[in-house]
Amino acid sequence: MSRDGLPLGRAASPDDPLRVAVLVSGRGSNMEAIARAAARGEIPVKVVKVVADRPEAGAIARARALGLDVSIVDYRALGREAYHRRLLEEVEASGAELVALAGYMRILPPEWVRRFERRIVNIHPSLLPSFPGLEPHRQAIEHGVKVSGCTVHLVDEGVDSGPIIVQRPVPVDDGDTPETLAAKVLEVEHRAYVEALSLLASGQLVLTGRRVVRRALEAHGSTAEGSSSS
């Protein structure tokens, strides 16, 4: 009954936390939610680096206020190639095992994705595969869906197309605008991202095909909740 597959993350502990680098472009509330959960000891994760791709990102001040190690790698000043090279140097020098994109507005090139294969995660504010890309809340409202939400997924070479780790729904009300829906989804995002990192730091996740599943826990001597197999 054990599930074969490619392991995702690893079994981390408070003494040996999963080392995570967070890439940001904007406000940084997801980064903050992750860092706070880690600092409170809710998840065996350590944010070893925050990298912002632009000096105006509000996330920079937030990360500094949390005492995190922040680097600014300015895309506009460096240009595409030099930017991605520097970004790689920063992330590798930090010793990060996992890269978490949190409101990071750039598409990582294929070489970058391959270098960190199955070790990059992203959060997108829709229930993928619906409404990938830009303005997902506007897309959701214009389509008329009654439920939207957020998705934490592995990053592959496409846009918002990688295997799904966690999804959480949010009702869309008749009066919702992209802004009100974004605010409701954002709150849920913060919990979903922490939950996904908790799973990745449990050493229980495996990738089988496109599916991210919890492997049976016989080896750990306990029973996996929700691990019903058919």
Contact 103/28 with Cβ under 8 angstroms?
yes
Q: Which is nearer to ligand GRF, 31 or 206 (CB)?
A: 31
Alpha carbon distance 18, 10 (integer Å): 7
Longest dimension (CA), the chain: 53
Give, in degrees to the nearest 5, the angle at Cα 75 between 21 and 105: 60
| Residue 26 within binding range of ligand GRF, rule CB under 6 A | yes
Which contacts of 34-38 are long-range, i.e. CB under 8 A and separated by 24 or more positions? 34/100, 34/102, 34/193, 34/194, 34/197, 35/63, 35/66, 35/68, 36/66, 37/194, 37/197
Give, in degrees to the nearest 5, the angle at Cα 59 between 91 and 173: 115
Q: Supply the minimum distance, in Å, between the C-beta of residue 94 and ligand GRF.
A: 19
Q: Supply the minimum distance, in Å, between the C-beta of residue 182 and ligand GRF.
A: 6
Q: Of the listed pieces 22-30, 34-42, 43-51, 63-71, which binds ligand GRF according to CB under 6 A?
A: 22-30
Q: From the CB of residue 86, how many other CB atoms can be counted at a distance below 10 Å?
A: 16
Alpha carbon distance 158, 87 (integer Å): 19
| Residue 186 within binding range of ligand GRF, rule CB under 6 A | yes
Q: From the CB of residue 184, how many other CB atoms can be counted at a distance below 10 Å?
A: 18
Q: Of the listed pieces 45-53, 123-131, 209-217, 221-229, which binds ligand GRF according to CB under 6 A?
A: 123-131
Torsion 180-136-43-212 (CA) sign: positive
Nearest residue by C-beta to ligand GRF? 103
Q: Which is nearer to ligand GRF, 32 or 90 (CB)?
A: 32
| Residue 103 within binding range of ligand GRF, rule CB under 6 A | yes
| Residue 27 within binding range of ligand GRF, rule CB under 6 A | yes
| Residue 54 within binding range of ligand GRF, rule CB under 6 A | no
Of 84, 124, 137, 153, catalytic: 124
Q: Of the listed pieces 21-29, 45-53, 85-93, 173-181, which binds ligand GRF according to CB under 6 A?
A: 21-29
Contact 49/71 with Cβ under 8 angstroms?
yes
Establish whether 124 is a catalytic residue.
yes
Q: Of the listed pieces 11-19, 42-50, 75-83, 118-126, which binds ligand GRF according to CB under 6 A?
A: 118-126
| Residue 149 within binding range of ligand GRF, rule CB under 6 A | no
Catalytic residue IDs: 124
Residues of the shown chain interacting with ligand GRF in the complex, contacts defined by CB under 6 A? 26-30, 102-103, 123-125, 186, 189
